[in-house]
Structure 1
Amino acid sequence: MPSKTIERLQWRYATKRFDSSRILSEEKLDILKETFNLTATSYGLQPLKLVVISNAELKAQLMPLTYNQPQVRDASHVLILCVEKKINENFIIDHFKRVEGQRNTPRTILEPFEKNLIASFSEKNSEEIKDWMINQLYLTLGALLTVCAVEKIDACPMEGFQPKKYDELLGLDKKGLESVIVLPVGYRDESDFFINLKKVRRGVDELIIEIN
């Protein structure tokens, strides 16, 4: 018998039609927010932000900016995963202040790591830093999709949208953010053709290499 987790992962699919009448509870939404907050990121820096949209009019405005895909209009909520426009010395210093405040770690221990990280990022160009941030974002996306499956929340990760127009409409550029992934979440419409299609995967035997 497969575990409950595997059963839920088999249950999930990239939902094409959402039931617009069904809304996520605050409890379910809080689980997704905490998942975003708790997901591992390199150095623990969390160079990301999550935008949560529930307003129906705003979701409708996003639809043409998502190549008229109806998921953003019909989903309970639209989550937009964003990266910071830049990571500078102050961003890193703020991180170590949090470590000091929340763990009571002495500055004498933290300071060498802080200086090391500042020096490391100073050697990277903006494109390298952006690529690194996007890698962290995809770690978070994977966690969100897994938790959605466990909680029986439907989701559809989407790269097919116009990021600059999203950023302009939502004022993300003014907040120093760039949108990368759109993730409508909610509950599937039972008329969705894709509900009962068998999952197509390469399989464990082909994908897994065990070295004993």
Structure 2
Amino acid sequence: MSSKTIEKLQWRYATKRFDSSKPLSEEKLQILKETFNLTATSYGLQPLKLVVVSNPELKTQLMPLTYNQPQVRDASHVLILCIENNINEDFITDHFKRVEGHRNTPRTILEPFEKALIENFSKKQTSEIRQWMANQLYLTLGALLTVCAVEKIDACPIEGFEPKKYDELLGLNKKGLESVIVLPVGYRDESDFFINLKKVRRGVDELVIEVN
């Protein structure tokens, strides 16, 4: 198959070694920020925040909290994908105020949906809401990895870290946030053993089921 998009997806891999001497440009970083903002989320609520760390000393402090994975120290930036501590009535109301302001949608149209959503979330357990928010976050992760490939930015999604210690160090608790995914981004070091390894996938024929 000949496709520039597929070629770029073939090019990407979970980068294990970053070249610390190659920072991302502000333009590239802004593309990732915009991607995070534009990614689809359920109801459009965006129960997420993106924390961007570029300070070398702070990245070094994060390394032992990430089981000494060097990516967080050497990457140009460390993106930390976070969820809100909870979704309450005020959060949902603020969303509908934005809808009203951006689209000039009459309150008579928005209010029934707003009330239904508030009622729906009021019946959910905190654990259910947290899982729902995490699901939304993984949508943004997929979008970020795809855009990284298109923009020739290297990345390595990391779940192996200590969230509570991250939250404490970065003061995320005070912001009502909880870290879920760590995503170092930058440019690969040519010494990375994984650069030239073939991508291993089950294959389209095995993964895709067509129903005609």
Normalising by the smaller structure, the TM-score range is over 0.9
Kindly provide the amino acid, as one letter, of the partner of residue 209 in structure 1: I
Report whether the alignment pairs 1:50 with 2:35: no
User: Who is 2:198 aligned against?
Assistant: 198
User: Who is 1:123 aligned against?
Assistant: 123
Kindly provide the amino acid, as one letter, of the partner of residue 172 in structure 2: L
User: Who is 1:148 aligned against?
Assistant: 148
- The number of residue pairs the alignment matches comes to 212
Query: % of aligned pairs identical?
Result: 86
User: Who is 1:210 aligned against?
Assistant: 210
User: Who is 2:110 aligned against?
Assistant: 110
Alpha-carbon distance, 1:27 to partner: 0.3
Alpha-carbon distance, 1:58 to partner: 0.2
Distance 2:33 2:2 in 1: 28
Distance 2:104 2:29 in 1: 31
**Deviation string, structure 1 residues 69-92 (Cα, Å, up to 9, x no partner):** 000000000000000001000000
Kindly provide the amino acid, as one letter, of the partner of residue 146 in structure 1: T
User: Who is 1:18 aligned against?
Assistant: 18
Alpha-carbon distance, 1:185 to partner: 0.0
Distance 1:115 1:160 in 2: 39
RMSD: 0.4
Kindly provide the amino acid, as one letter, of the partner of residue 63 in structure 1: M
Unaligned segments of structure 2, at least 5 residues? none
Kindly provide the amino acid, as one letter, of the partner of residue 126 in structure 1: T
The equivalences for 1:84-99 within 5 A come to 84-99=84-99
**Deviation string, structure 1 residues 143-191 (Cα, Å, up to 9, x no partner):** 0000000000000000000000000000000000000000000000000
Kindly provide the amino acid, as one letter, of the partner of residue 186 in structure 1: G
User: Who is 1:184 aligned against?
Assistant: 184
User: Who is 1:67 aligned against?
Assistant: 67
Kindly provide the amino acid, as one letter, of the partner of residue 10 in structure 2: Q
Distance 2:26 2:195 in 1: 25
Alpha-carbon distance, 1:57 to partner: 0.3
Q: 1:148 aligns to what SS in structure 2? A: helix
Kindly provide the amino acid, as one letter, of the partner of residue 82 in structure 2: C
Distance 1:103 1:25 in 2: 33
User: Who is 2:27 aligned against?
Assistant: 27
Alpha-carbon distance, 1:2 to partner: 1.8
Alpha-carbon distance, 1:207 to partner: 0.4
Kindly provide the amino acid, as one letter, of the partner of residue 87 in structure 2: I
TM-score w.r.t. the length of structure 1 is 1.00
Distance 1:164 1:2 in 2: 45
User: Who is 1:37 aligned against?
Assistant: 37
Q: Tell me which stretches of 4 or more aligned residues in structure 1 moved more than 4 Å.
A: none
Q: 1:63 aligns to what SS in structure 2? A: helix
Distance 1:200 1:102 in 2: 44
Distance 2:187 2:102 in 1: 37
Distance 2:75 2:69 in 1: 11
